[in-house]
A and B are shown apart, each in its own frame.
Chain A
Amino acid sequence: KQEVTQIPAALSVPEGENLVLNCSFTDSAIYNLQWFRQDPGKGLTSLLLIQSSQREQTSGRLNASLDKSSGRSTLYIAASQPGDSATYLCAVPKGSQGNLIFGKGTKLSVKP
């Protein structure tokens, strides 16, 4: 049974700091891994999608890495800003059945 864990559950950093969010999964036979951002009371915004054959993906100040063999992914945020404050969720598809398995998220607060 696939389980996704995100550590830490919450993180508070001063503006400008570089930070890393962690995601681990128990079954390494994944097709891809997707990172989402969720603002309070809002839906999910896709940040990065990493295919199983890829090692990393970059979008602006965000860089996501994937190590399938160890069951880990990291989301690196460079030069954090108060606008980055949100909950960040990682998710993997459940086999080929189309159900996304989510972690519980990391709530990030960036202080001005």
Chain B
Amino acid sequence: DAMVIQNPRYQVTQFGKPVTLSCSQTLNHNVMYWYQQKSSQAPKLLFHYYDKDFNNEADTPDNFQSRRPNTSFCFLDIRSPGLGDAAMYLCATSRGTGTISGYTFGSGTRLTVV
């Protein structure tokens, strides 16, 4: 089945130690998104790639970076994780901006910072 796959499902990292989360998709969607979701809150968009074009949300901290080496893969890099960065990180894809076919989400990566 075509899907969005996130690895790992759970990630524990030390305070200040760089960490990378990965997302892959077999849907051949041209847009990929990274959302951050803290406990009992709505998901919040960090950034997205429209094809190779990177779009950063204005309030996304500089500590968060992203890479998209090809259509299928997208990575979220947190350069120096703080305790406040502990959250669920959700990857999503869409064909175009999702105005026609909607969005598909992965299972998420739960990040713990110790």
Interface SS of chain A = strand
Q: How large is the interface on A (under 10, 10 to 19, 20 to 34, 35 or more residues)?
A: 20 to 34
Return B98 CB to nearest CB of chain A, in Å: 5
Residue of A32, A51, A97, A98 with most partner-chain B CB within 10 A: A98
CB pair A98 B105 closer than 8 Å: no
Contact B33 A98 (CB under 8 A): yes
Q: Kindly supply a per-residue 1/0 record for chain A positions 86-105, scoring 1 wherever the CB is within 8 Å of any chain B CB and 0 otherwise.
A: 00010101001111101111
Q: How far apart are the CA atoms of A74 and B41 in the complex, in Å? A: 20
Which of A43, A103, A105 has the most B CB atoms < 10 Å from its CB? A43
Known contacts A96-B97, A98-B31, A98-B97, A44 near B43 by CB under 8 Å:
yes
Which residues 83-98 of B have a CB within 8 angstroms of A?
88, 90, 92, 94, 96-98
Q: Is A36 among interface residues, defined by CB-CB distance under 8 A?
A: yes
Q: Which residues of A contact B (CB under 8 A)?
A: 31-32, 34, 36, 41-46, 49, 51, 89, 91, 93, 96-100, 102-105
The 23 sampled A-B contact pairs (Cβ below 8 Å) are A32-B98, A32-B100, A41-B110, A42-B108, A43-B88, A45-B105, A49-B102, A51-B100, A89-B42, A89-B43, A93-B97, A93-B99, A96-B97, A98-B33, A98-B94, A98-B96, A98-B98, A100-B45, A100-B92, A102-B43, A103-B42, A104-B42, A105-B42
